[in-house]
């Protein structure tokens, strides 16, 4: 195929996908659910980076808390740098964020093409796999659950490089493998991927023992021969893991608690005890009481009601009906090791993701330590999409390769296809509100298959692949169109302008009201304040993460009392006034010299000694300075920061220095960027 | 006689057992027997009600597909009281 035509074949599906998703892509429908959170985090991070500060603290939410989400939102991935670059080019943050997501998704689809090509050794089949992934729910769900992309895209590339490395032990493939591991570690909790890898290794070693043994020997020889490269790769992986380790150190220090993990569906006392208990990991019921695959996915909605999928849920799981048709037609094909590998992996993933609905997860929780450190098991469902697509395309390849020896065999196959398609039709009829387009796809698929096997029309393989590619896209295109229509009612505007944060002396008493239905569903408004970098009302609630003392205070203080007190950010105390005087704005006595999310610098000119209480959460990582000299930071009024200031003119500074500081994030970003460039050079130029 | 069984066994293996259909059936059996589907329904009802009704069961304009789902799966106020 000429290069122009080949490029056209790859670009056209992207264009069609962009057209179907145009209202999301062009920002008319805002990102929702967890993607809304990730957008808030990404905007907060890069907005501050462009202001010259790596944000480590969120002063606007929960009376101030560590910026815990910095380690789990793919911020150090070189592709994420598109956001600040596009911002500098004049684009708003929301458009830049969507552009980055979509680009990342297309990178994932391209990786899937290469992976399928490596496995199936057939460009046309790999192209069908590429289309299958693009028109599955993986792409459309990025607007509500970008975590799927964060986990699946690097995992696809990981398996691609793993396969390539198993066939050819060169430095390019090893670097590619290292880079994908770095991305996996730095983008989100790596435990989901570790689960997938564990399943894969278990099944692979069982099925391909000789190959696994050979791979280990080759890998060992490669490491011995290239030990310098190996050491550098280990260093790279450690640098990429540093942000997550920094958060783990902070978590272990006891300064931070995570009520969000413990308080869903539990009594206030139970929530308090579990949160303050600081036990590592989560109890089994905390992991499985919500977020399992059984909770999010119903077999009914794999086939029926597909035109009614709501944008208000992050449980959009959808595979083109083409996939099910092929799997249905493949029942009489020869069973192969690859079929067993892929299908058993899919079943294992499904069982683990089912949580307490199957005994499998409980067994793993009891015997493997990392299963106590992640919930939302339905995220594993995202890995099912590429696995099942790959399985179906492989079956399709085998279906096309059936050799017809004589006329009776031909008749037999045509009869078999007809009967199986009728059974599939009967199967679909059992579901409620199956869209007509699914039946149309099934009918057309049956006709095309009969024509193919009958040999009436003799097209080339490329033309047949083209025909089946159109059938693959037909139904999903219609469903994605319906999904976009349903999402229109969520239209709203998210904060997207660049902000220089300013210090406000008083917090608002009422939340910033948004009429958007996005915020009527779940309590994600926290991140609205991060996006706009304005103060939230002075309350804590049950956030995902907050400081220990602030959570404790909020649990023992009536909400209105805390709100009345903490609405003022600065309160002054002296010997004659133990009740304290709230500061309502700048004055000759106290003014702001400098403010960013990690630092507050005040200029004071008191007539008598004062204790300045800054009603922003205290942690042991905060430091206080008086005229540039470190002084004792007080934990004032249970949960906040205080400093004793003598009479006269002084500069007071509160600044946040968590373990590793900014350097953890800078080095992780630089390391990922260097390893990407290095891997690309080695792969394409063999330098 | 022994060789007949061997040939028959080999044929059975090649014609029937070594086909996807047996494997799909085994996996289907594994899935259906090892998953507590009733619990899945309860969990799903809890999640959908939590999301679309904010705990008050009043936000009736949201999520048509899920309203249908709740209806067809008999997830009613009584069901919630008893199970969730």
Q: B29 is in which domain, residue-wise?
A: 2-34
Is A344–B39 a contact, with Cβ atoms under 8 angstroms apart? no
Residues of A in contact with B55 (CB under 8 A): none
Task: Please name the residue of chain B whose CA is at the shortest distance from the CA of residue A338.
Answer: B20
Residue B60 has a pLDDT of 41
Across the range B4-26, mean pLDDT stands at: 75
Task: Name the CA radius of gyration of chain B, rounded.
Answer: 23
Residues of B in contact with A358 (CB under 8 A): 34-36
Same domain for B30 and B48?
Answer: no
pLDDT band at A487 (very low <50, low <70, confident <90, very high): confident
Across the range A451-464, mean pLDDT stands at: 88
Angstroms from A157 CA to nearest CA on chain B = 28
C-alpha to C-alpha distances, A211 to A167, A178, A205, A570, nearest whole angstrom = 10, 21, 8, 67
Angstroms from A288 CA to nearest CA on chain B = 10
Task: Please name the residue of chain A whose CA is at the shortest distance from the CA of residue B84.
Answer: A265
Per-residue pLDDT tens over the stretch A239-249: 999 999 998 88
Per-residue pLDDT tens over the stretch A548-587: 999 999 988 998 999 999 999 999 998 787 788 999 999 9
Per-residue pLDDT tens over the stretch A415-430: 999 999 999 999 999 8
Longest dimension (CA), chain A: 106
Same domain for B20 and B54?
Answer: no
Please determine, for residue B45, whether its predicted confidence score (pLDDT) is greater than 80: no
Residue A405 has a pLDDT of 77
Per-residue pLDDT tens over the stretch A500-557: 999 999 999 887 766 665 665 545 567 788 888 999 999 887 667 889 999 999 988 9
| ipTM reported for the complex surpasses 0.90 | no
Is A294–B63 a contact, with Cβ atoms under 8 angstroms apart? no
Task: Name the CA radius of gyration of chain A, rounded.
Answer: 28
Angstroms from A335 CA to nearest CA on chain B = 5
pLDDT band at B9 (very low <50, low <70, confident <90, very high): low
Query: What crossing angle do the helices spanning A209-225 and A191-207 adopt, rounded to 10°?
Result: 120
Is A292–B65 a contact, with Cβ atoms under 8 angstroms apart? no
Same domain for B45 and B25?
Answer: no
Across the range A642-650, mean pLDDT stands at: 95
Residue A474 has a pLDDT of 95
Residue A403 has a pLDDT of 80
Average pLDDT, rounded, for chain A:
91
Same domain for B28 and B48?
Answer: no
Please determine, for residue A89, whether its predicted confidence score (pLDDT) is greater than 60: yes
Task: Please name the residue of chain B whose CA is at the shortest distance from the CA of residue A293.
Answer: B40
Angstroms from B36 CA to nearest CA on chain A = 5
Residues of A in contact with B39 (CB under 8 A): 294, 356-357
Same domain for B7 and B42?
Answer: no
The answer to which of A67-76, A250-259, A373-382 has the lowest mean pLDDT is A250-259
Residues of A in contact with B37 (CB under 8 A): 294, 357
Size of chain B in residues: 84
Helix (H) or strand (E) holding A573: strand A570-574
Per-residue pLDDT tens over the stretch A591-614: 999 999 999 999 999 999 999 999
Task: Please name the residue of chain A whose CA is at the shortest distance from the CA of residue B36.
Answer: A357
Please determine, for residue A473, whether its predicted confidence score (pLDDT) is greater than 50: yes
Residues of A with CB under 8 A from a CB of B: 290, 292, 294-296, 298, 300-301, 305, 308-310, 312-313, 327, 330-335, 339-340, 343-344, 347, 350-351, 354, 356-360, 395, 432, 517, 520-522
Of the candidate CATH numbers 2.60.40, 3.40.30, 1.10.10, 3.30.70, the domain formed by A568-656 belongs to 2.60.40
The answer to which of A7-16, A130-139, A273-282, A533-542 has the lowest mean pLDDT is A273-282
Please determine, for residue A384, whether its predicted confidence score (pLDDT) is greater than 50: yes
- Report the share of chain A in percent with pLDDT over 70: 96
Residue B55 has a pLDDT of 42
Residue A299 has a pLDDT of 78
Q: Which of B19, B31, B36, B43 to mutate to test the interface with A (most CBs of A within 10 A)?
A: B43
Per-residue pLDDT tens over the stretch A145-192: 999 999 999 999 999 999 999 999 999 999 999 999 999 999 988 999
Q: In A412-558, where do the E strands start and end?
A: 546-547
C-alpha to C-alpha distances, A577 to A584, A609, A614, nearest whole angstrom = 17, 11, 17
Is A335–B23 a contact, with Cβ atoms under 8 angstroms apart? yes
Residues 6+ apart with CB under 8 A from B14: none
Q: Which of A33, A266, A294 to mutate to test the interface with B (most CBs of B within 10 A)?
A: A294
Residue A190 has a pLDDT of 92
Residues of A in contact with B72 (CB under 8 A): 300, 432
> The tokens of A615 are what?
């009603």
Please determine, for residue A383, whether its predicted confidence score (pLDDT) is greater than 60: yes
Residues of B in contact with A354 (CB under 8 A): 35, 40
Residues of A in contact with B30 (CB under 8 A): 347
Cβ atoms < 10 Å from Cβ of A419: 10
Please determine, for residue A307, whether its predicted confidence score (pLDDT) is greater than 90: no
pLDDT band at B71 (very low <50, low <70, confident <90, very high): low
Across the range A634-643, mean pLDDT stands at: 94
Give CA angle at A428 (A427, A434), nearest 5°. Answer: 165
- Each domain of chain A, given as residue ranges in start order, spans 3-253+290-401+459-488+666-684, 568-656
Residue B76 has a pLDDT of 66
Residues of B in contact with A348 (CB under 8 A): none
- Report the share of chain A in percent with pLDDT over 90: 70
Across the range A69-88, mean pLDDT stands at: 95
Across the range A345-367, mean pLDDT stands at: 92
Cα torsion at B5, B8, B10, B14 (round to 10°)? Answer: -160
Across the range B63-83, mean pLDDT stands at: 58
Per-residue pLDDT tens over the stretch A44-62: 999 999 999 999 999 999 8
Please determine, for residue B69, whether its predicted confidence score (pLDDT) is greater than 80: no
Same domain for B42 and B68?
Answer: yes
Residues of B with CB under 8 A from a CB of A: 18-24, 27, 30-31, 34-37, 39-40, 43-44, 46-47, 51-52, 54, 59, 62-66, 68-69, 72
Q: Which of A295, A309, A344 sits opposite B65 (nearest CB)?
A: A309
Task: Give the per-residue SS3 of chain B.
Answer: CHHHHHHHHHHHHHHHHCEHHHHHHHHHHHHHHHCCHHHHHHHHHHHHHHHHHCCCCCCCCCCHHHHHHHHHCCCCHHHHHHHC
Question: A22 by DSSP, 3-state: which?
Answer: helix
Residues A358/A454, Cβ–Cβ less than 8 Å? no
Residues of A in contact with B64 (CB under 8 A): 308, 310
Q: Which of A308, A358, A520 sits opposite B65 (nearest CB)?
A: A308
Task: Please name the residue of chain A whose CA is at the shortest distance from the CA of residue B65.
Answer: A308
Please determine, for residue B65, whether its predicted confidence score (pLDDT) is greater than 60: no
Is A395–B37 a contact, with Cβ atoms under 8 angstroms apart? no
Residue A518 has a pLDDT of 63
Please determine, for residue A260, whether its predicted confidence score (pLDDT) is greater than 80: no
Residue A65 has a pLDDT of 93
């Amino acid at each position: 195929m000429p290069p122009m035509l080949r490029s056209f074949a790859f670009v056209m599906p992207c264009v069609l996908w962009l057209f179907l998703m145009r209202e999301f892509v062009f920002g008319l429908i805002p990102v929702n659910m967890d993607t809304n959170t990730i957008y808030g985090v990404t905007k907060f991070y890069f907005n501050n980076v462009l202001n010259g500060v790596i944000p480590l603290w969120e002063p606007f939410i929960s009376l101030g808390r560590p910026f815990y989400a910095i380690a789990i939102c793919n911020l150090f991935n070189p592709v994420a740098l598109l956001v600040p670059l596009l911002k500098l080019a004049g684009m708003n943050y929301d458009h830049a964020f969507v552009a980055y997501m979509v680009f990342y998704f297309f990178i994932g689809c391209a990786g899937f093409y290469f992976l399928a090509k490596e496995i199936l050794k057939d460009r046309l089949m790999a192209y069908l796999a590429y289309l299958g992934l693009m028109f599955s729910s993986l792409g459309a769900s990025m607007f509500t659950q970008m975590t799927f992309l964060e986990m699946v895209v690097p995992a696809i590339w990981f398996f691609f490089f793993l396969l390539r490395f198993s066939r050819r032990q060169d430095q390019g493939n090893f670097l590619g493998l290292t880079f994908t591991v770095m991305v996996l570690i730095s983008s989100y909790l790596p435990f989901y991927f570790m689960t997938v890898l564990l399943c894969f290794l278990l099944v692979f070693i069982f099925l391909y023992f000789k190959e696994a043994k050979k791979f280990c020997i080759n890998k060992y020889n490669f490491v011995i021969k290239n030990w310098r490269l190996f050491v550098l790769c280990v260093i790279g992986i450690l640098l990429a893991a540093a942000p997550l380790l920094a958060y783990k150190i902070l978590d272990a220090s006891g300064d931070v608690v995570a009520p969000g993990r413990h308080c869903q569906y539990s009594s206030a006392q139970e929530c308090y005890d579990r949160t303050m208990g600081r036990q590592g990991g989560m109890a089994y019921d905390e992991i499985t009481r919500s977020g399992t695959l059984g909770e999010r996915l119903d077999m009914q909605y794999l086939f029926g009601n597909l035109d009614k999928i709501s944008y208000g849920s992050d449980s959009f799981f959808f595979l083109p009906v083409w996939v099910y048709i092929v799997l249905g037609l493949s029942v009489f094909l020869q069973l192969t090791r690859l079929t067993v590998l892929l299908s058993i992996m899919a079943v294992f993933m499904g069982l683990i993701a089912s949580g307490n609905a199957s005994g499998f997860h409980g067994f793993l929780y009891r015997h493997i330590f990392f299963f106590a450190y992640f919930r939302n098991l339905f995220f594993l469902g995202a890995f099912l999409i590429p696995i099942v697509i790959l399985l179906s395309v492989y079956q399709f390849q085998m279906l096309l390769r059936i050799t017809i020896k004589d006329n009776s065999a031909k008749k037999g196959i045509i009869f078999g296809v007809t009967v199986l398609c009728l059974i599939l039709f009967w199967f679909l009829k059992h579901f409620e509100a199956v869209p007509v387009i699914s039946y149309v796809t099934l009918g057309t698929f049956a006709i095309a298959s009969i024509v193919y096997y009958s040999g009436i029309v003799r097209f080339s393989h490329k033309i047949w692949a083209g025909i089946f590619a159109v059938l693959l896209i037909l139904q999903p295109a219609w469903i994605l169109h319906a999904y976009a229509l349903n999402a229109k009612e969520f239209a709203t505007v998210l904060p997207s302008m660049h902000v220089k944060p300013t210090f406000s002396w008083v917090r608002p008493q009422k939340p910033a009201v948004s009429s958007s239905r996005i915020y009527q569903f779940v309590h994600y408004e926290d991140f609205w304040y991060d996006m706009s970098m304005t103060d939230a009302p002075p309350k804590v609630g049950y956030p995902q993460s907050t400081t220990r003392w602030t959570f404790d205070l909020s649990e023992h203080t009536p909400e209105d009392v805390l709100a009345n007190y903490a609405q003022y950010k600065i309160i002054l105390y002296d010997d004659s006034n133990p009740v304290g005087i709230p500061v309502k704005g700048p004055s000759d006595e106290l003014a702001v010299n400098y403010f960013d999310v990690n630092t507050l610098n005040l200029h004071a000119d008191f007539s008598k000694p004062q204790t300045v209480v800054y009603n922003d959460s205290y942690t042991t990582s905060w430091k206080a300075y008086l005229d540039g000299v470190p002084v004792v930071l007080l934990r004032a009024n249970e949960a906040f920061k205080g400093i004793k200031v003598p009479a006269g003119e002084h500069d007071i500074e509160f600044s946040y220095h968590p373990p590793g500081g900014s350097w953890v994030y800078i080095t992780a970003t630089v390391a990922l960027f260097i390893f990407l460039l290095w891997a690309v050079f080695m792969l394409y130029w063999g330098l | 006689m022994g060789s007949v069984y061997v040939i028959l066994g080999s044929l059975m293996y090649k014609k029937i057992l070594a086909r996807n259909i047996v494997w799909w059936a085994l996996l289907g059996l594994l899935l259906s027997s090892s998953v507590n589907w009733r619990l899945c329904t309860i969990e799903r009802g809890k999640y959908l009600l939590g999301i679309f009704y904010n705990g008050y069961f009043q936000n009736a304009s949201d999520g048509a597909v899920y309203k249908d789902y709740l209806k067809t799966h008999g997830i009613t106020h009584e069901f919630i009281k008893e199970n969730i």
